[in-house]
Structure 1
Amino acid sequence: MQQTVTLKDKAAQLLHILFPVLITQLSLYAMNFADVTMSGHASAVDLAGVAIGSSLWVPVFTGLSGILLSITPIVAQHLGAKRYDQIPYSVMQAMYLAIVIAFVIIGCGMIGLDFILEQMKLEDNVQQIAYDYLVALAFGIIPLFIYHVLRCFIDALGQTKVTMFITLTALPMNIFFNYLLIYGKLGFPKLGGVGAGYATAITYWCCCFSALLVIHRFRRFARYRVLHRLYPISLAMWKELLKVGLPIGFAIFFETSIFAAVTLLMSEFSTTTIAAHQSAMNFASLLYMIPLSISTALTIAVGFEVGANRYKDAKQYSFLGIGMAVCTAVLTSLFLYFFRGEIASIYTKEQEVLLLTKQFLLYAIFFQLSDAIAAPIQGALRGYKDVNATFVAALISYWVIGLPFGYLLAKFTSAHAFGYWIGLIAGLAAGAVFLLARLLFIQRRYHRIQTMKG
């Protein structure tokens, strides 16, 4: 990261951060996709077991790892303020906290996983594969959370290309180990879907060691001496990390879990409707990687400028990012509208499912426009370390407005299954308006602070 003067320079720097983040997000998405699809080639039972295990793991990971995202604005602000000596201390404390969170997840899984799976009324063989898949995955939870902290540290320095290369290396590695362990190739045991869990755990360890090697050996990271000293645990620093991280984690959890809840509520409709819903939602989730990546880039850029007390520059980055997201959303919306038939055909050849998927994809257009405003604003607010607003917005927009409104439409109007999508769109739109108002308020407050200092 470096100071920029013109909007052209800011756009160039933001894009420099953004593109590697986007590729990283797509690669992570592809890893989960590979686990599910490769398990499906083993058997339908393996596919179902891994899909269930993955649907339980993803909201837990995204929510709890969201807590550790607090290190990104903290390091970015230290960097902007040139408090370089505070960076290794903050990163090490975040690593300690990551290990504790990982052990808590493993402990909770040991106690409650059986009970959760039993409540889902699955077939015995599907339940066993889901259980064994998650147990296998658990061997990689500690390195995964450590890597997540190191990734946030590297990204906060603006070196997003480094984490992009690590993730791009991890994707073929994950596919290779899936091939060996799911299908029992080259003398390895044939484990079916459970093998995907072990393959992912091995990949997590490789990512962690790669990141540790990078920050130890490469000068641009080694100069911060992150691994040169074991600091004592600081509960005060943990409190700061949690103060910023818990609202981020809960906001992400509310966002990811709402879609799981809608999928469960969709079970009352026909198999055709559920299949169409899942297909359209899967593609909409893929497109969401764009505003999500812009959000991450804004957290880094805005945090850097706020740390340097350049509040005007932070404001310019905020609206530059929102503008990029809106322009991209217009293009993706046009793509969805004109090519919804071709997109639907990727997922199914059954005519009834295809036609219904095309209808759901029309509603996905409105997701694009709301996400293009809400997601970048969330990232900008995190750069200011104003995280409670995003937590409140996620809770209200999804669970107070979106889900109840969607339920009423689905149950008591002719909208039926589309009612849930309309409800989510309404919630997203309300959240976007609230977050925009909050961003303008925060920017005015920082402007007053700068005026008083001047």
Structure 2
Amino acid sequence: MKTNLLSAPFQEEVKKTVSLAIPIIVAQLGSILMGVTDNIMVGHYLGKIGLGVAGIANSIAFVISSIGIGGLAVVAPLISKAKAERNIPEINRLFRAGLWVAFWFGLILGALGFLCIFFFDVFQQSAEINAKSPSFMGIIIISNVFTFLFLASKQLSDGLSRTYVAMIITILGLLFNFVFNAILIKGYLGFPALGLNGAAISTLCTKILMLAGILIYLFRAKTFKKYLSRRYNPLPVGDLIKHIFKIGVPSGLQFFFEIAAFSLAVIMMGWLGENQLAAHQIAINVASTTYMMASGLGVAGGIRVGEGRGLRNIQKIRMSGNVALIIVGAFMTLMMILMIMLKRFLIGLYISDVEVIEIAVRLMLIAAVFQLSDGIQVVALGILRGISDVNIPTWITMFAYWVVALPLGYFLGFPLKQDAVGIWIGLWAGLSMSAVLLTTRFYYLVNKMKKSEQFSVETAGA
């Protein structure tokens, strides 16, 4: 990876990547804060049962929706590629095809979600949680349809390097969700007190408003008018719907494998005891925040690589990949240092229980170490998505999390009696394996493009 860090092209690429990434990061943090707000308000107003219902229902719904969330992320790099090619009709077709894909993701994954509701007893929760969760989860699953449509819409603005659009709407959505929660849970301003379901309806209303907001902006702003002209409506989109599904489903499975693996790690922590589970939740909550920041860089890197792909410029593809990896490496190294230095302070924000703190301190040290691996692997996935390479990375993530991370974590945690630390060492090993293999894959494909007589990235995902 030869890169002159002082060269003007490198510094220009850094500026463009960072300017793209910051709004994406803010929007993703806004989405996290929306969930945090829900949990705080439900816990405050309705107590531990309400918090338990919201926690498990949201977790199950999120694991299911992760396939759609990851799958739709492939559209922005395709739009960035079409923009570099100055192919305005293709951008219009990609936008419309993305909306159709989002609709079908909503129906298919929604049906899977309602199947989970029908067999909710399999999750072995208490009788009260079993009774209250289905209606709450049903509303959340319906809201996911609007989430997918919003994500599909934001692919247009993100792919055209207008990432601030989704950021502003997400921040407004966060504020609306807070207000709707207060009104609907407790029944203020003449509204009926809907309790737990009020929080779910608040989420549904917020998602509908966010979708309406971004669509109104896209169709009214001058920046996007030429891409959304009605004269392109007769152009068919069936081929692009198939193509987005073809590369989107593997991309979604990459996200699913990681999310599901960490969800199973939570279950294993529960086998060890309440203290270990609480310590795990604290450490993973801190690590998840930095992960979302790194994933924003991954999205930005994918958009920049997609532009290089559209320009058929191997040097630009390599440069964009280099910059994204270097930035995330520097950022996550800083996060690692801060987590080591501030570990007791951060843990103290969550809990004062001495036993939990001592376990969490050990886990926080491992979380700090795997920051670098976690950041590199999520950015590597992003830049590979930029060249539409999704099939091999999907197998890599499945191998890293389900063949390395979980079995090793179980073996260290239980047979070798390393407890919670053993499970986290397994997670670190899986993340490191993923980081090494995915980064190697990217540079292998770039070198393959360079050596080929005719530059073609269409074969990269084979």
**What TM-score range do you get, normalising by the shorter chain?**
over 0.9
For residues 208 and 452 of structure 1, the distance between their equivalents in structure 2, rounded to whole angstroms, comes to 39
Q: Report deviation, 1:242.
A: 1.3
In structure 1, the residue matched to 2:216 is 213
The answer on 1:277 being equivalent to 2:245 is: no
Q: 2:22 aligns with which of 10, 19, 22?
A: 19
1:159-217 CA distance string (max 9 Å, x none): 00111101111101111111111222222222222211100100110111111111111
For residues 319 and 50 of structure 1, the distance between their equivalents in structure 2, rounded to whole angstroms, comes to 41
In structure 1, the residue matched to 2:314 is 311
The letter for the 2-side match of 1:98 is A
Relative distance call for 1:111 and 1:329 in structure 2 (3 A) is: closer
For residues 281 and 416 of structure 1, the distance between their equivalents in structure 2, rounded to whole angstroms, comes to 16
Q: 1:118 aligns with which of 96, 117, 121?
A: 121
In structure 1, the residue matched to 2:401 is 398
Q: How does 1:254-333 map to 2 (within 5 A)?
A: 254-333=257-336
The answer on 1:95 being equivalent to 2:75 is: no
Q: Which moved more, 1:117-126 or 1:293-302?
A: 117-126
Contact 1:49 1:128 in 2 (8 A): no
Q: How does 1:344-355 map to 2 (within 5 A)?
A: 344-355=347-358
For residues 455 and 200 of structure 2, the distance between their equivalents in structure 1, rounded to whole angstroms, comes to 56
Contact 1:341 1:358 in 2 (8 A): yes
Q: Which moved more, 1:330-339 or 1:411-420?
A: 411-420
Q: Report deviation, 1:65.
A: 2.3
The answer on 1:67 being equivalent to 2:35 is: no
Q: How does 1:229-248 map to 2 (within 5 A)?
A: 230-231=233-234, 234-248=237-251
Q: Report deviation, 1:357.
A: 1.2
Q: Report deviation, 1:234.
A: 4.3
The letter for the 1-side match of 2:288 is S
Relative distance call for 1:278 and 1:112 in structure 2 (3 A) is: closer
Q: Report deviation, 1:232.
A: 7.3
Contact 1:248 1:387 in 2 (8 A): yes
Q: How does 1:113-192 map to 2 (within 5 A)?
A: 113-115=117-119, 117-192=120-195
Contact 2:61 2:140 in 1 (8 A): no
Q: 2:48 aligns with which of 32, 44, 50?
A: 44
Three-state SS of the structure 2 residue aligned to 1:348 is coil
CA RMSD of aligned residues (A): 1.8
Contact 1:279 1:347 in 2 (8 A): yes
The letter for the 1-side match of 2:71 is I
1:220-239 CA distance string (max 9 Å, x none): 11110166664576443222
The letter for the 1-side match of 2:75 is I
For residues 228 and 144 of structure 1, the distance between their equivalents in structure 2, rounded to whole angstroms, comes to 28
Three-state SS of the structure 2 residue aligned to 1:43 is helix
Q: 2:370 aligns with which of 359, 364, 367?
A: 367
1:94-129 CA distance string (max 9 Å, x none): 2112112212233333444120x2112222221232
The letter for the 2-side match of 1:7 is F
For residues 212 and 378 of structure 2, the distance between their equivalents in structure 1, rounded to whole angstroms, comes to 31
The answer on 1:105 being equivalent to 2:109 is: yes
Q: Which moved more, 1:228-237 or 1:241-250?
A: 228-237
The letter for the 1-side match of 2:407 is P
In structure 1, the residue matched to 2:437 is 434
Name structure 1 gaps, 5 residues minimum.
none
Relative distance call for 1:138 and 1:427 in structure 2 (3 A) is: closer
Three-state SS of the structure 1 residue aligned to 2:375 is helix
Three-state SS of the structure 2 residue aligned to 1:417 is helix
For residues 9 and 46 of structure 1, the distance between their equivalents in structure 2, rounded to whole angstroms, comes to 49
Three-state SS of the structure 1 residue aligned to 2:366 is helix
Name structure 2 gaps, 5 residues minimum.
1-6, 457-462
